Structure 1
């Protein structure tokens, strides 16, 4: 993926694929007609665009993801921290916690992630 950020409608489209994959391009057209009220041409245009960005592929009429929803979210999160906090996760956490308290559960989960990273 080239750092492309999905718009609101593209996100809904991508979520449909992630929820139903693998699916045929014909199934995707029907799904988009039902869920987004799109015509066939709109579905194929958006699919082609997201395939060009390396998020999905349409091989032999079967649509699958090249990047999972979790993977896409991870890339977007990394880009946000990089662009906004010069790549500093501690700076992001400091900014985040100035307006929102972390619960004991959040703190424990963050500590587990830190411990796991320290062992790798």
Structure 2
């Protein structure tokens, strides 16, 4: 199955559901979106139905609420977005990505250490191959 890029509004709902880490009811989602973004119930329910059609969520009506279950995990979606960003924005160039990070993001010492550790691990993996 091909995972498609989500509009920001649908992504906000998915992030809310991913954070809940379990089945979540329409009521919980409507309240969460109302509190965080001042969305109306109809807006949230419309977006939820789109996410079901796109196969990001499965829905099941239990009593008076619809329960939603995640079909596309957050890690899977982040992978799709990351590959798309890397390919389309940076033309699959690590150099472009790293220069952009350096020029546009204030990397902390911890961030730099994390990058160094990542590079070290890549080098070690290369030796093992």
| Fold match by TM threshold 0.5 | yes
1:67 partner SS: coil
Q: Measure, in 2, the Cα distance between the counterparts of 1:29 and 1:16.
A: 10
1:1-120 mapped onto 2 (5 Å cutoff): 1-7=2-8, 9-20=9-20, 21-60=22-61, 61-85=66-90, 88=92, 91=93, 93-99=94-100, 100=102, 103-113=112-122, 115=124
CA separation of 1:2 and 1:72: change in aligned 2, threshold 3 A: closer
Distance 1:113 1:47, change over 3 A: farther
> Is contact 1:23–1:64 with CA below 8 Å preserved after alignment?
yes
Larger CA Rg, structure 1 vs 2: 2
The answer to which structure, 1 or 2, has the higher relative contact order (CA under 8 A, 6+ apart) is 1
What per-residue deviation string (whole Å, max 9, x for no partner) do you get for residues 29-84 of structure 1?
Answer: 22223222222221110011122222222233211211122221111111222334
Judged with a 3 Å threshold, the aligned counterparts in structure 2 of structure 1 residues 38 and 103 are, in CA distance, closer, same or farther, namely closer
Q: Give the TM-score normalised by structure 1.
A: 0.72
Runs of 4+ in 1 over 6 A off after TM superposition: 117-120
* 8 Å Cα contact 1:10/1:46 also seen in 2: yes
